[in-house]
């Protein structure tokens, strides 16, 4: 139950107890636990936040349990309203299929491909009749939905709450039933979907309700709000080692604890040791974060790349030298600095380029440029802000 977060001690105890019992039952039946987690391919890219439940699944795999990775190609048509206080746009089948394509592939950076079942929930949801829907829906009251925080908020604001948004929970609940799941993994935003919807539907359909394994939510690079691509605070999985390392370093210190718990392989005692070190001053928070970054990068790219990413980071940012791989630009004589910034995309407009120069944000060979209409004296490295470099040739 490490890394779990139920927001209610009693619930956590109940779930832990139920899990123990279920494990024993399974042992008697001579089968592993059926564990699953669903992912909605509403965006094409997975990010670190998605890997939190995946890691949990991986742990189950390593213990010999039966893991299913559900791609919510049908649920994605609605979009989970759980973590949003506004309506999510509906996607088309085509958009969802397109996103789903790369999903599994990215997931296998965490999960063991050989031991993972991949299922698409359209498989069982697409064929549900209206009659079945009526039966499922009759297990729930409007009040149950309206007292959920996110709907309640919208209700009070006088914002629209569409009927179809309530279907999402039913659909997810039906997933659990279709898979005859013993355990369902999800973030705290899934508490309602798992605890209320899935368990109720499973019981209604004559199955044993699945056990909710609720995990903490990984904050984004701002350290506060849930990681999400649409908020721009995400760390994508599909990025290179250097970028990933840098992005982890940019999280605020206060978020380190969550990151250590949710996205590293360190054990609780190891994490406790690090936290104690920071507290008593024997470990510099920066070094703790560097270790965190190394851990995370190595999980995706291996130790060699992680160590290399750290070197690059130290060189570039701590020592302020210029990175190795920077784009180059073939300059011609009559290009002013503004022209260069514009054509290379370092500035979106001439005005923006001027602004950057006015604000002393543009340097050539380390010297601040103060006249926008200057022509560069020769070859060298042009730097915009802290992170953008261009080799002028």
Partner RNA sequence: GGACGGUUACCCAAGUGGCCAACGGGGACUGACUGUAAAUCAGUUGGCGACACGCCUUCGGAGGUUCGAAUCCUUCACCGUCCA
Q: Which is nearer to RNA, 33 or 297 (CB)?
A: 297
Compute the distance between CA of residue 120 and CA of residue 103 in angstroms, rounded to an integer: 11
Q: How far apart are CB 39 and RNA at their closest, in Å?
A: 25
Q: To the nearest whole angstrom, how small is the minimum distance from the Cβ of residue 342 to RNA?
A: 7
Choice from 232, 279, 280, 282 touching RNA (CB under 7 A): 232
Distance of CA 338 to the CA centre of its chain: 38
CB of 144 to RNA, least distance (A): 19
Q: Which of 239, 250, 308, 335 binds RNA (CB under 7 A)?
A: 250
Report if residue 311 touches RNA, rule: CB under 7 A. no
Q: At what angle do helices 303-313 and 241-249 cross, to 10 degrees?
A: 60
Residues whose CB is less than 8 angstroms from the CB of residue 72 and which lie 6 or more positions away in sequence, other chains included:
38, 39, 40, 41, 121, 172, 175
Residues 6+ apart with CB under 8 A from 108: 116
Question: Which region, left, alpha or beta, applies to residue 158 given φ > 0 means left and ψ of -120 to 50 means alpha?
Answer: left
Q: Of 14-22, 44-52, 117-125, 343-351, which segment contacts RNA by CB under 7 A?
A: 343-351
* Residue list 154-213, contact with RNA (CB under 7 A): 158-161
> Binder to RNA among 8, 149, 253, 273 (CB under 7 A)?
253
Give the whole-angstrom CA distance, residue 352 versus residue 66: 55
Residue 384 is a binding residue for RNA (CB under 7 A): yes
Classify each residue of 348-383 as buried b or exposed e, where b means 16 or more C-beta atoms within 10 Å of its C-beta: eeeeebbebbeeebbbbeeeebeebeeebeeebbbb
CB 385 to RNA: min, Å: 2
Report the residue number, 205 or 266, with the smaller CB distance to RNA.
Answer: 266
β-bridge mates for residue 384, sequence order: 362, 388
For residue 78, give the DSSP letter.
T
Kindly state whether residue 318 participates in binding RNA, applying the rule CB under 7 A. yes
From the number of C-beta atoms within 10 Å of its C-beta (0-12, 13-18, 19+), residue 134 rates as: exposed
* HSE of 253, CA atoms in CB hemisphere, 13 A: 10
Nearer to RNA, 30 or 320 (CB): 320
Least distance between RNA and beta carbon 286 (Å): 4
Stretch that binds RNA, among 65-73, 124-132, 176-184, 248-256 (CB under 7 A): 248-256
Residues in Cβ contact with 209 at an 8 Å cutoff, skipping those fewer than 6 apart: 198, 199, 200, 202, 203
| Binds RNA (CB under 7 A): choice among 147, 230, 349, 379 | 349
- Give the residue with the Cβ less far from RNA, 107 or 356: 356
313 binds RNA (CB under 7 A): yes
Rule CB under 7 A: is residue 327 a binding residue for RNA?
no
Identity of the residue, 103 or 168, whose beta carbon is nearer to RNA in the bound complex:
168
Closest CB to RNA among 93 and 157? 157
- 31/348 with CB nearer RNA: 348
Owner of token pair 């005005």: 351
Compose the 127-146 pattern: x for residues touching RNA by CB under 7 A, - for all others. Answer: --------------------
CB of 373 to RNA, least distance (A): 5
> What residues form DSSP beta bridges with 67?
35, 116
In whole angstroms, how far apart are CA 388 and each of 220, 236, 242, 382?
23, 20, 14, 8
> How far lies 124's CA from each of 119, 200, 206, 342, in Å?
10, 18, 17, 52
* Binding status of residue 361 toward RNA by CB under 7 A: yes
Binding to RNA, residues 71-100 (CB under 7 A)? none
Please report, as ranges, the residues that interact with RNA according to CB under 7 A. 158-161, 222-223, 232-233, 245-247, 249-254, 285-286, 289, 313, 317-318, 348-352, 354-356, 359-361, 372-373, 384-388
């Amino acid at each position: 139950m490490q890394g779990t977060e139920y927001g209610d001690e009693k619930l956590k105890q109940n779930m832990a107890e139920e899990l123990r019992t279920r494990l024993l039952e399974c042992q008697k039946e001579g089968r592993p636990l059926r564990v699953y987690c669903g992912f909605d391919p509403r965006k094409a890219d997975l990010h670190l936040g998605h890997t939190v439940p995946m890691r949990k699944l991986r742990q189950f795999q390593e213990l010999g349990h039966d893991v299913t990775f559900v791609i919510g190609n049908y649920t994605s048509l609605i979009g989970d309203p759980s973590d949003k206080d506004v309506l999510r746009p509906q996607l088309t089948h085509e958009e969802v299929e397109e996103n789903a394509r790369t999903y599994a592939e990215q997931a296998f950076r965490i999960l063991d491909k050989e031991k993972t079942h991949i299922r698409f929930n359209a498989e069982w949801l697409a064929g549900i009749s209206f009659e079945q829907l009526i039966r499922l829906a009759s297990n729930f009251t409007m009040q149950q939905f309206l007292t959920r925080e996110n709907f309640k908020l919208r209700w009070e604001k006088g914002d629209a709450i569409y009927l179809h948004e309530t279907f999402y929970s039913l659909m997810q609940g039906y997933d659990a039933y279709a898979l005859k799941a013993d355990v369902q993994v999800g973030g705290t935003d899934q508490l309602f979907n798992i605890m209320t919807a899935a368990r109720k539907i499973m019981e209604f359909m004559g199955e044993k309700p699945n056990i909710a394994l609720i995990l903490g939510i990984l904050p984004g690079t701002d350290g506060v709000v849930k990681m999400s691509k649409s908020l721009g605070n995400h760390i994508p999985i599909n990025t290179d080692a250097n970028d990933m390392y840098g992005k982890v370093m940019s999280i605020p210190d206060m978020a380190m604890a969550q990151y250590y718990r949710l996205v590293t392989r360190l054990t609780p005692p190891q994490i406790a040791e690090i936290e104690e070190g920071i507290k008593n001053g024997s470990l510099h928070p920066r070094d703790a974060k560097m270790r965190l970054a190394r851990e995370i990068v190595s999980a995706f790219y291996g130790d060699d790349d992680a160590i290399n990413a750290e070197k690059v980071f130290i060189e570039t940012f701590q020592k302020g030298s210029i990175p190795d791989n920077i784009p180059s630009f073939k300059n011609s004589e009559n290009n002013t600095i503004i022209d260069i910034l514009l054509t290379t995309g370092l500035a979106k407009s001439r005005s923006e380029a001027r602004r950057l120069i006015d604000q002393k944000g543009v340097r050539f060979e380390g010297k601040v440029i103060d006249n926008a209409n200057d022509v560069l004296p020769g070859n060298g490295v042009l730097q915009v802000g802290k992170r953008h470099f261009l080799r002028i040739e």
